[in-house]
Amino acid sequence: MKILGISGSTRKDDVSGTSKLVKTVLENTDCSYELVSLRGKKIAGCIACLGCVKDNICKVQDDLVDLRAKIVEADAYVIGAPNFYSAMNATTHALLERWYQFRHQEGDTLWGKLGVAVGVGGTSGQYPADEIEKLFLYNFVETVAKVAGQGAASCFSCGYGETCKVGVPTLLYGEGVKITPDMIPDVTKQSVVIESAAAAGKLLGQRLRNGHDRMAVTQKMQQQLMSMFKESA
Ligand SMILES: Cc1cc2nc3c(=O)[nH]c(=O)nc-3n(C[C@H](O)[C@H](O)[C@H](O)COP(=O)(O)O)c2cc1C
């Protein structure tokens, strides 16, 4: 069983809460895994050209071309994204939009696979985790767990954090805030978050090892997607 981890943060791994949480989930699966960072990768959003409808292969030539083979080969995914404006960041959204290529006809390349959704925000990572779950569903990928943590917003280190009125330090602590190292959020110090990432990894590993039935998962996800469409129609 092979798991593909993708960190959608564009920041360096040593400061990215998303990268750290995705790695924690992967390390706890007891499966072989690969962690890919989207930092520095050029991946455009879907342009709806329909070039993929016949063969389920996107024709846009960018860094997703090489990543596609890893996505196809993996049995499960751990995908994480930062919270940008109460949504997942555009880089991760672009990647998941392009998973449209896998959906056509008997697009069973991804159907019935499993996933963990990870989100990290300056306040909370719940929005991106929820959105990743939704985009997983469109490919009949079951989200077995979601993990959300609080990361270090760049405003703590940009140099203007103590006076900027729209910066996270002022929004969290009020005007006149004095930034001290202990107030800068770090997912690795949030024991509840790290425990939930470890539990998510263990659950994913168990689900993969204990007779993972892709057909049954596919049917369950199809029902969920149909319900979602009926509710929103
Ligand atoms: C353009 C931009 C928009 C952001 N918007 C939000 C937001 O709406 N809510 C939030 O909680 N954090 C927001 N943040 C903060 C990031 O989510 C935070 O820095 C997070 O730690 C980034 O993930 P990373 O550590 O994996 O890079 C924003 C950051 C940027 C650069």
Report domain extents, the chain.
Answer: 2-151+186-232, 154-185
DSSP labels for 17-55?
HHHHHHHHHHHTS-SEEEEEE-TT---PPP----TTTTT
Count of C-beta atoms within a 10 Å radius of residue 21: 32
- Intervals of the chain under pLDDT 50: none
CA 83 to centroid of ligand 1, rounded, Å: 5
Q: Copy the structure tokens of residue 108.
A: 């069973």
Name the residue among 3, 69, 6 with its Cα closest to residue 32.
Answer: 3
Q: Which residues are within 8 A (CB) of 201 and not within 5 positions of it... i.e. 6 or more apart?
A: 24, 25, 26, 27, 28, 29, 78, 116
Say what the pLDDT of residue 105 is.
86
Q: What topology does CATH give the domain 2-151+186-232?
A: Rossmann fold (3.40.50)
Say what the pLDDT of residue 106 is.
81
* Coil, strand or helix at 166: coil
Q: Hey, which of 83, 118, 123, 154 would you mutate to test ligand 1's pocket, going by the most ligand atoms within 8 Å of its Cβ?
A: 83
Say what the pLDDT of residue 191 is.
98
Say what the pLDDT of residue 233 is.
80
DSSP H or E run through 223: helix 214-232
Say what the pLDDT of residue 69 is.
97
Q: How far apart are CA 68 and CA 121, in angstroms?
A: 27
Say what the pLDDT of residue 107 is.
79
CA 122 to centroid of ligand 1, rounded, Å: 5
Answering whether pTM is above 0.95, one says yes
Q: How far apart are CA 212 and CA 206, in angstroms?
A: 9
Protein residues whose CB sits closer than 6 Å to any atom of ligand 1: 9, 11, 16-18, 82-86, 120-124, 151-154
